[in-house]
Amino acid sequence: MHENLLTIAQQTVAAGSNADSALPEALRISGVALVAIFIVMGLFGAMIALLSHVFPETVDESV
Amino acid sequence: MDQLLQGILSLTPGQGIMFAIGGLLIWLAISKEYEPTLLLPIGLSAILANIPHSAAIGVDGEPGILTTLFDAGIRTEVFPLLIFVAIGAMIDFGPLLQNPKMLLFGAAAQFGIFFTMCLAAALHFTLKEAASIGIIGAADGPTSIVVANRFAPHLLGPITVAAYSYMSLVPIIQPPVIRLLTTKAERRIRMDSSQFRPVSQRTKIIFPIAVSLVAGLLVPSAAALIGMLMFGNLLRESGVVDRLSIGAQNELANIVTLLLGISIGAVMTADEFLDRRTLLILGMGIIAFVFDTAGGVLFAKFLNLFLKHKINPMIGACGISAFPMSGRVIYKMGLAEDPQNHLLMQAISCNVGGQLGSVVAGGLILALVS
């Protein structure tokens, strides 16, 4: 009885670990992507600040 | 006589269900006005694609109109990219350029993409399928189509339907999430409009060029997505090709939207669409939108721990791409809490940042997953 339960548990764990094999990679990619997206958007922000500084608005050009 | 009856006699229960789903999409488009420009053609094409021996799909190995349009416009990614030209021509990046800090919310509110991607992976989808499902959270139809087409073309139907349906449901999905995560006092925070500094026309012209260049160099896989968006915006801001800008905003947008919608039906056949996984995808789509909203709101609350001039955390929810719907929702919520609290500029600038953020997120997923 105990052996049967152990076998079932082992099979369940094995099936779970095979099926979930994409999860660690998904977690890794998500972490990298979230950091990267903040960096890219931060760069865009810095670029806008730089452009606004180099090309300040004038009376004629104001939007 | 047999030939006349072959369609009826070959009808399967699955095809009958797809007729009902097509009818439901058409009903949502007409009665509820949920993204009618897309759900209406998608609904009819779903019906056409499921008629037994349908010439719309193809007969005797010869492609039909739906499969031809799909192969020409979606498999090649031409339609979604052309939609980006139209969107770029429609968007005024002015409010964002006047307050570039709002770009950060465009990053934070993409959290739902990655949360859902991990959830899908945990639910035994492959990594590429999980990424395609997660990108529903971009709240950006063309980006969802490009990523799904690249990674999981067999899931394109449910992903597209989920992306466009939930975009139209933003006024229903976002408010309860925001109320759950904020106090009444937080929702009544007034924001200083003096942070919006006028920008020159030259800045507005250089911005799309610089973004194309920077994003293309950093994330080359996003070059087509961002490049087309910025091309449309350059048409708008250059001031010398008004005819092209107006054409992109109207004729191009209308024609490509029509073709895109009708093409999606080609992958909505019963054998591909009616699957337990379709229900999971539709469910995870809502989760993606909920966690996008939560990501933006919680990020604003986090920033408020350090800021002297507090941000109304509702603004963070506009970092979701659904433009301009999300901005309008937050503006109305702000007025409902305090009739003197006008958050329109902040909401729209954040929402425009979300449009950029969703495209960058799509590009990052394309780069990292492949």
Measure CB to CB from residue A48 to each of B97, B111, B117 and give the nearest one: B97
Do B353 and B96 form a contact (C-beta atoms < 8 A)?
yes
Going by C-beta distance under 8 Å and a sequence separation of 6 or more, which residues neighbour residue A11?
A: none
Residue A62 clears pLDDT 70, i.e. is over it: no
Going by C-beta distance under 8 Å and a sequence separation of 6 or more, which residues neighbour residue A20?
A: B121, B122, B124
Output the pTM of the full model: 0.87
Give contacts of B97 with chain A, Cβ < 8 Å.
Answer: 48, 52
Outline where DSSP puts E strands in chain B.
58-59, 62-63
pLDDT at B198: 84
The token duo for B99 is 């307050």
Distance (Å) of CA B271 to CA B123, B128, B310: 21, 21, 52
Please tell me the distance from the alpha carbon of residue B215 to that of residue B368, in angstroms, as a whole number.
15
Contact B361 A33 (CB under 8 A): yes
Closest CA to B359 of B129, B141, B168, B74: B141
Query: CA of A42: which chain B residue's CA is closest?
Result: B104
Contact A26 B368 (CB under 8 A): no
Residue B340: count other Cβ atoms within 10 Å of its Cβ: 8
Please tell me if residue A59 touches chain B, with a CB cutoff of 8 Å.
no
pLDDT at B9: 79
Q: Which residue has the tokens 């079932």?
A: A8
Q: How confident is the model at residue B66 (pLDDT cuts 50, 70, 90)?
A: very high
pLDDT digits (tens, 9 = 90+) for B105-139: 999 999 999 999 999 999 999 999 999 999 999 98
Contact B100 A48 (CB under 8 A): yes
The DSSP letter of residue B309 is S
Please tell me if residue B259 touches chain A, with a CB cutoff of 8 Å.
no
> ipTM surpassing 0.90, yes or no?
no
Going by C-beta distance under 8 Å and a sequence separation of 6 or more, which residues neighbour residue B172?
A: none
Residue B337 clears pLDDT 60, i.e. is over it: yes
As a whole number, mean pLDDT of residues B177-191 equals 94
Contact B117 A29 (CB under 8 A): yes
Contact A51 B127 (CB under 8 A): no
Please tell me the distance from the alpha carbon of residue B253 to that of residue B232, in angstroms, as a whole number.
11
pLDDT digits (tens, 9 = 90+) for A12-44: 445 444 555 799 999 999 999 999 999 999 999
Whether a cis peptide bond, with omega within 30° of 0, leads into B80 is no
pLDDT digits (tens, 9 = 90+) for B257-294: 999 999 988 888 898 888 889 999 999 999 999 999 99
Residue B343, SS3 per DSSP: coil
Residue B169 clears pLDDT 60, i.e. is over it: yes
Please tell me the distance from the alpha carbon of residue B182 to that of residue B171, in angstroms, as a whole number.
17
Give contacts of B103 with chain A, Cβ < 8 Å.
Answer: 41-42, 44-45, 48
Closest CA to B116 of B133, B93, B98: B133
Q: Which residues face B63 on adjacent strands?
A: B58
pLDDT digits (tens, 9 = 90+) for B75-98: 899 999 999 999 999 999 998 999
Interface of B with A in 70-109 (CB under 8 A): 94, 96-97, 100-101, 103-104, 106-108
Distance (Å) of CA B67 to CA B18, B51, B56, B81, B158: 17, 14, 7, 19, 17
Range scoring the smallest mean pLDDT among B4-8, B69-73, B240-244: B4-8
Give contacts of A18 with chain B, Cβ < 8 Å.
Answer: none
The DSSP letter of residue B249 is I
Residue B59: count other Cβ atoms within 10 Å of its Cβ: 11
Interface test with B, best of A12, A23, A61, A62 (most B CBs within 10 A): A23
Amino acid at B144: S
Q: Which residue has the tokens 């949920």?
A: B34
Measure CB to CB from residue A19 to each of B124, B204, B219 and give the nearest one: B124
Contact A48 B203 (CB under 8 A): yes
The token duo for B178 is 């925001």
Residue A60 clears pLDDT 60, i.e. is over it: no
Phi, psi at residue B161, to the nearest 5°?
A: -60, -45
Give contacts of B203 with chain A, Cβ < 8 Å.
Answer: 48, 51-52, 55, 57
Interface of A with B in 17-46 (CB under 8 A): 19-20, 22-23, 25-27, 29-30, 32-34, 36-38, 40-45
Phi, psi at residue B58, to the nearest 5°?
A: 145, 150
Residue B340 clears pLDDT 60, i.e. is over it: yes
Interface test with B, best of A12, A25, A27, A41 (most B CBs within 10 A): A41
Contact B100 A44 (CB under 8 A): yes
Closest CA to B341 of B351, B354, B331: B331
Going by C-beta distance under 8 Å and a sequence separation of 6 or more, which residues neighbour residue B245?
A: B89, B232, B235, B236
pLDDT at A5: 44
Opening angle at CA B223, ends B222 and B228, nearest 5: 110
Measure CB to CB from residue B356 to each of A20, A27, A44 and give the nearest one: A44
pLDDT digits (tens, 9 = 90+) for B193-230: 777 788 899 999 999 999 999 999 988 888 999 999 99
SS3 annotation, B49-85:
HCCCCCCCCEECCEECHHHHHHHHHHCCCHHHHHHHH
Do B316 and B353 form a contact (C-beta atoms < 8 A)?
no
Give contacts of B364 with chain A, Cβ < 8 Å.
Answer: 33, 36-37, 40
